[in-house]
Structure 1
């Protein structure tokens, strides 16, 4: 994943070295110790990470159903840390408050309990539903100082998991910021944008866009159609070719065809092209990735641009990537094009969507089934993006393919 901590209060964190473990406490503990040493943790901080990971894995092994743990390194331009993500399918925790109190650890564990894990970690987040399972996240940074404070929460987070039997994953994701597009905005008049969007709305809905007289002569102009006459169609996409004038965040998810090292090569090439590219719209960014994937297996790719200031999202996707804007009770799927990035694509379009209040952008590969509903995420939307992503992976993920989920939330 990319990239950097950006200005304007937007934080993005790089993620690498993902390793999954199932029922192997010693392997997870050893890997945590090795990662801590490699990124420069002190001996004391390394020991704290190992202690927390050992407690988490021991509890998972003794009590969880189909538990899995992911270890990975997080990086900002100034500091590196370790993140532990744990998922299981039950039995769940009925009283999280009690589980986080000292002394509540069950027999056979180290006895420090999840409360101590929470204190050892810089960030700890947990979601659990009895009968369905638990998602935990513990994040460890070097002890902050005046020179290097602890990083803020990343706007975008994702998680990848290789198909069973593989060590590398063909799915990859990345995010980067883009400065305001005032020069681009000046090249296209406000009148022209409104006319095009109104015509696109009419094409998609069969009705004129409320409040717009675009596409009609002066003699035809009539009072705007009341919003109630149109109905709840705010999720209908509009063709959009220009970025807004404020700062934007671009998010990419790539699913390299197949699985294994060759799929991972395509995913890595897509991430590199996306990180270093200069494209400002999703459509242009996919064209850059398309050129970079020539000579690889190719991939399905989806790219979104979040413009919190304008409360809109621009989106372009090619292939079997599922993308949706989700709230606790709604899900609006985003339109994608057929094709294979790196091999063949039809003419691309960037679509515009309004950002829903208190919602999230969710994108995932076909390693997850599409048969999930907003209710499946209702309890997860309020958690950090990585917990939301891991919860959806646990709920909808399959073992027949590489799987990935990326979630963006909290900026609007």
Structure 2
């Protein structure tokens, strides 16, 4: 958001997404106001501000992630009050975003900056219904971005929930660009064929599917919320952490590259403590990140956590993917 014209560009992009999902005027108008407020805040007040926009047709939802690197908001409650506006915008600042969005969460520190997540859904859309008996026991948030100057991301991820278990596959195609994307796409497609399988068989199946590609680092991870366990298997440099206020356990897979050469897959399992986050990411994110900034966010929106990690620990030269999971309260 380095120019005022970018606010209009973001608004047009969101409007196109809403139109493709068949939204009416009222919902599209709410979305336009949220985009305008967030975009204008970034342009006028933030350093290196970015606005990420993603549509989710199955839920008839648009997710907006606002990220900046300073100066931060010293008083969030004041900033959220009506009348405390970012300027001559159609709404009334962050208070308007909170009212208009179906979901909103924000985190800020001085001088590090501000990260917020807003989701706008179509009114009475089938995907927005609550209280489903098959609703997953975990909340999942993610950010998946291509390397600088690339139009496609060489990383990919997919998830599947059944009977209280959530299984996740993350793949990082070698290099970046279209050929890396082909490898990660093949990995997630192979995972989708039988996502409930034993993790060792999943890794082997993905390995076979990638033999016609340049290959990828992969990790298959399963969280059993009821049993309170985490299990994983894989090969390459997909890494992660399981952390809570008193627990910190690394997720590290064996050496190798799926599609090229891997050893016989093995499964590692350990407990999932109460209130813990499960974080999995590609090597576009620095491996040695401190948990100090994450612990205050343990009970916050998982996408907010992913965005903070992206802002503070991206390498700025590769595809970057972060998936964060936590048990629903």
Tell me which interval the TM-score lies in, with the shorter structure as reference length: over 0.9
Query: Could you tell me which of 315, 318, 323 is aligned with 1:401?
Result: 318
Match of 1:194 in 2: none
- Cα pair distance change 1:75/1:354, threshold 3 Å: farther
Please state how far the C-alpha of 1:355 moved relative to its aligned partner: 0.6
Please state how far the C-alpha of 1:115 moved relative to its aligned partner: 0.7
- Which sits farther off after the overlay, 333-342 or 269-278? 269-278
Query: Could you tell me which of 176, 187, 191 is aligned with 2:160?
Result: 176
| Superposition map of 1:117-156 within 5 A | 117-144=97-124, 149=129, 155-156=139-140
Match of 1:308 in 2: 225
| Superposition map of 1:196-207 within 5 A | none
- Cα pair distance change 1:150/1:117, threshold 3 Å: farther
Give unpaired runs (5+ residues) of structure 2.
Answer: none
Match of 1:86 in 2: 66
Please state how far the C-alpha of 1:330 moved relative to its aligned partner: 3.7
Matched-pair contact (CA < 8 Å) for 1:329–1:374:
no
Superposed CA RMSD in Å reads 2.0
Give TM-score scaled by structure 2 length: 0.92
Please state how far the C-alpha of 1:278 moved relative to its aligned partner: 4.8
Q: SS of the counterpart of 2:123?
A: coil
Please give the alpha-carbon distance, in whole angstroms, between the structure 2 residues aligned to 1:54 and 1:348: 49
Please state how far the C-alpha of 1:337 moved relative to its aligned partner: 0.6
1:60 counterpart = 2:42:
yes
Please give the alpha-carbon distance, in whole angstroms, between the structure 2 residues aligned to 1:163 and 1:372: 20
Deviations 1:26-69 (A, max 9, x none): 21111000000001111121111011101110110111111111
Q: SS of the counterpart of 1:376?
A: coil
How many residue pairs were aligned? 323
Please give the alpha-carbon distance, in whole angstroms, between the structure 1 residues aligned to 2:317 and 2:167: 29
Matched-pair contact (CA < 8 Å) for 2:222–2:230:
yes
1:39 counterpart = 2:21:
yes
Matched-pair contact (CA < 8 Å) for 1:158–1:173:
no
- Cα pair distance change 1:338/1:147, threshold 3 Å: closer
- Cα pair distance change 1:145/1:268, threshold 3 Å: closer
Query: Could you tell me which of 274, 279, 288 is aligned with 2:205?
Result: 288
Please give the alpha-carbon distance, in whole angstroms, between the structure 2 residues aligned to 1:60 and 1:309: 41
Please give the alpha-carbon distance, in whole angstroms, between the structure 2 residues aligned to 1:90 and 1:97: 18
Please give the alpha-carbon distance, in whole angstroms, between the structure 1 residues aligned to 2:257 and 2:127: 46
| Superposition map of 1:369-384 within 5 A | 369-384=286-301
Please state how far the C-alpha of 1:300 moved relative to its aligned partner: 0.6
Give unpaired runs (5+ residues) of structure 1.
Answer: 1-20, 180-246
Please give the alpha-carbon distance, in whole angstroms, between the structure 2 residues aligned to 1:150 and 1:142: 14
Matched-pair contact (CA < 8 Å) for 2:247–2:273:
no
Match of 2:186 in 1: 269
Please give the alpha-carbon distance, in whole angstroms, between the structure 2 residues aligned to 1:144 and 1:279: 31
Please state how far the C-alpha of 1:75 moved relative to its aligned partner: 4.2
Please give the alpha-carbon distance, in whole angstroms, between the structure 2 residues aligned to 1:248 and 1:171: 23
Please give the alpha-carbon distance, in whole angstroms, between the structure 1 residues aligned to 2:126 and 2:237: 46
Matched-pair contact (CA < 8 Å) for 1:22–1:69:
no
Please give the alpha-carbon distance, in whole angstroms, between the structure 2 residues aligned to 1:363 and 1:102: 37
Please give the alpha-carbon distance, in whole angstroms, between the structure 1 residues aligned to 2:246 and 2:229: 19
- Cα pair distance change 1:335/1:165, threshold 3 Å: closer
Please state how far the C-alpha of 1:357 moved relative to its aligned partner: 2.0
Match of 1:69 in 2: 51
Match of 1:218 in 2: none
Deviations 1:231-285 (A, max 9, x none): xxxxxxxxxxxxxxxx311012111111111111111111111122255222221
Please state how far the C-alpha of 1:321 moved relative to its aligned partner: 0.9
Query: Could you tell me which of 133, 150, 163 is aligned with 1:166?
Result: 150
